[in-house]
Amino acid sequence: MEALTQAMRGLGPVRLAMMGGVLFLMLGFFIFLLTKLGQPNMALLFSELSSTDSNTIASEVSRLGYPAEVRDQGTSVWVPADKALELRLKMADRGLPVGGKVGFEIFDETDTLGTTDFLQNVNLRRALEGELGRTIQSMDIVHRARVHLVMPRRQLFSREEQQPSASVVLAMRSSKRLDHEQVTAVQNLVASAVPGLKPGRITIIDDKGKLLSPGFEDDQSVNTIAAKNEERRRSVEARMARTIEELLEKTVGFGNVRAEVNADMDFDRVSTTEEIYNPDGQVVRSTQTVERAARNQESETDAVTVGTNLPDAAPGGGEGARAQSDESSTEETVNYEITKKVINHVKTDGSLKRVSVAVLVNGIQGKDKDGNPTYTPRPKEQMEMLATLVRSTIGFDADRGDSVEVVNMEFTSPIKFEEPLELFFGLGKNDLLRLAEILVLSILGILVILLVVRPLVSRAFESIPSAQEAAGRLLADTSSHAAGLLGGPSAPAPAEMEEEQFEELIDIDRVEGRVKASSVKKVGEIVEKHPEEALSIIRAWMYQEA
């Protein structure tokens, strides 16, 4: 113990401070190493969470006795990898995550006895908005959804009834977008959940500010009809392209054909009425016959004379000759019905005006004797047969202006990813990465001990005997000088003593141990302050000489 104390005193405050700092750093490094090795392998439990859900899930996992870490600015929760599936099921059993929305569980947390009617209506609206948002958010293409409902209350003695309305904001995943049918489905979903709400009074926009469905619009508006026509055109093109690819893949192989279809469609609705009369197809519709007969008989009288005008004369004076005429007529009216054909031509919208098809076919790929990939173009006869199949599939019509192009080109090879790391003694990829991390940290700790700590400690303790030896030599030199001053027989002259002292000082200055020349003057003080140490040094000299 005395030797250790003496060694510590010989180090000095600077070396002691350096050794203390190194020991402190080593202690901290080993604590970090042990903490790192003691941590379990973490795996992702949930991602893309709201701050409320992250806090709730982390608290629930900690309550179950498992460590939980919140990362990515509070949007993801990490748990031990071996407990991830179990904890995910437990969180789902507790209804987590809720998506940061308030649903009908709000009524489980409020006291309905002391709640006003106004607050009940507000909670009901919030619950409907939250539940609709969760339902819409369950779609794979939708990342987040927010619903706002306006449900006006009808006032007493009011004849006018205000219609409810709604607005929906959707955040899509990556660059995906909703088509017209999906937008209509969201409208009908919201309208069915709110009493009295019509689909036309629901406005839907996306997170980019694009209007997907304007409110207050019926199905017969120009924008709605145009969107439906565009959707029908894309559907026809996709159906034709899929049919062509499925047909040709039976011959050229899966993934070796790509088809693109451009369909020019006519969405005009035309109604034509045509009446055709056939004069050769006369038919008697009705016949009317009218017969007339008349007979007229007239008698001729004598001429008027003086005698006929006398009194008592006979009025006729005599009968003359009689005249008789017969008259008859027949009138016949025949009505003919001419054959008439009425044709109504109704041309429905969505007819094909022109179809253009482009088909890209891969060649024949194989390997040579050395295993290198080879490519061989397909024969021209085979390409013509494939073009014939495509024409038959789309209903090719040259008069309509259809065009079909089938081209043979080499496809680029898909990128081959590295095979997953095979199991080693039953250890998975995560386990091997964990072992590699532990090995690297252990090697780093050993290198720090060998390259940093060991040289510092060795140098510090090696400087102790050098300093003692230098101090002893100074002490011996000083004692010799003191003996000369006392007039001893072996005392040299003062000039010789100064020269020897000077030469000794030069030797001392070169001694390892950082002994300065000014230490010579302080040797006496050292002996007075530390007599025991000086005595031990002298004894050491005696043993060395012996």
354-401: pLDDT as tens digits: 999 999 999 888 888 888 888 889 999 999 999 999 999 999 999 989
Classify each residue of 389-400 as buried b or exposed e, where b means 16 or more C-beta atoms within 10 Å of its C-beta.
bbbebbebeeee
Q: How far, in Å, CA of 284 to CA of 101, rounded?
A: 82
Q: How far, in Å, CA of 71 to CA of 54, rounded?
A: 9
Q: Is the pLDDT of residue 93 over 70?
A: yes
Sorted by where each begins, the domain ranges of the chain are: 40-100, 120-217, 235-269+348-416, 273-299+321-342, 430-545
Q: Is 403 strand, coil or helix? A: strand
Percent of the chain with pLDDT over 90: 13
Side-chain half-sphere exposure of 496, counting CA atoms within 13 A: 7
Do the domains 235-269+348-416 and 40-100 match in fold? no
Edge-to-edge strand ranges of the sheet holding 351-361: 257-266, 351-361, 403-408
Q: Is 322 strand, coil or helix? A: strand
Min mean pLDDT across 12-16, 142-146, 165-169, 376-380 is at 12-16
Chain segment 467-523, per-residue pLDDT in tens:
455 455 555 554 444 444 334 444 444 444 444 444 444 444 444 444 555 565 577
Band of residue 21 on the pLDDT scale cut at 50, 70, 90 = confident
The fold of 120-217 is GMP Synthetase; Chain A, domain 3 (3.30.300)
- The better pLDDT of the pair 148, 180 is held by 148
CATH architecture, domain 40-100: 2-Layer Sandwich (3.30)
Strands 202-206, 165-172: pairing is parallel
**Mean pLDDT of the residues in the chain:** 75
Instruction: Find tokens 């469905």 and name the residue.
Output: 213
Chain segment 408-456, per-residue pLDDT in tens:
998 887 655 455 445 555 555 666 776 777 777 778 777 777 776 677 6
User: Is the CB of residue 386 less than 8 Å from the CB of residue 359?
Assistant: yes
Q: How far, in Å, CA of 431 to CA of 159, rounded?
A: 73
Q: Is the pLDDT of residue 65 over 80?
A: yes
Q: Is 331 strand, coil or helix? A: strand
Tell me which DSSP letter residue 309 carries. G
User: Is the CB of residue 464 less than 8 Å from the CB of residue 10?
Assistant: yes
Q: How far, in Å, CA of 129 to CA of 62, rounded?
A: 31
Q: How far, in Å, CA of 494 to CA of 485, rounded?
A: 9
Tell me the sheet residues that pair with 262: 356
Positive/negative CA dihedral, 180, 185, 190, 194: positive
CB-neighbour burial class of residue 468 (10 A; exposed 0-12, middle 13-18, buried 19+): middle
Tell me which DSSP letter residue 316 carries. S
- Angle (CA) 520-522-527 rounded to 5° is 110
Query: What is the C-alpha end-to-end distance of the chain, expressed in Å?
Result: 27
User: Is the CB of residue 300 less than 8 Å from the CB of residue 320?
Assistant: yes
Selection from 432, 413, 412 nearest residue 422 by Cα: 432
Min mean pLDDT across 268-272, 419-423, 539-543 is at 419-423
Q: How far, in Å, CA of 501 to CA of 493, rounded?
A: 12
Alpha helix segments (H runs only) across 372-514? 380-394, 429-448, 454-485, 494-509
What tokens were used for 277? Answer: 């009369």
Strands 319-347, 373-376: pairing is unpaired
Amino acid in the structure at residue 28: G
Min mean pLDDT across 29-33, 165-169, 252-256, 368-372 is at 29-33
DSSP run (H or E) holding 70: strand 69-71
Q: Is 10 strand, coil or helix? A: helix
User: Is the CB of residue 200 less than 8 Å from the CB of residue 153?
Assistant: no
Q: How far, in Å, CA of 342 to CA of 275, rounded?
A: 4
- The better pLDDT of the pair 79, 434 is held by 79
Q: What is the CA radius of gyration of the chain?
A: 58
- How far is CA 339 from each of CA 262, 276, 342, rounded to the nearest angstrom? 46, 8, 10
Tell me the sheet residues that pair with 289: 332
Q: How far, in Å, CA of 141 to CA of 161, rounded?
A: 37
Q: How far, in Å, CA of 142 to CA of 138, rounded?
A: 7
Q: How far, in Å, CA of 99 to CA of 46, rounded?
A: 11
Q: How far, in Å, CA of 166 to CA of 148, rounded?
A: 6
* 235-269+348-416 CATH pick, 1.10.3720.10, 3.20.20.70, 3.30.300.30, 2.60.120.560: 3.30.300.30
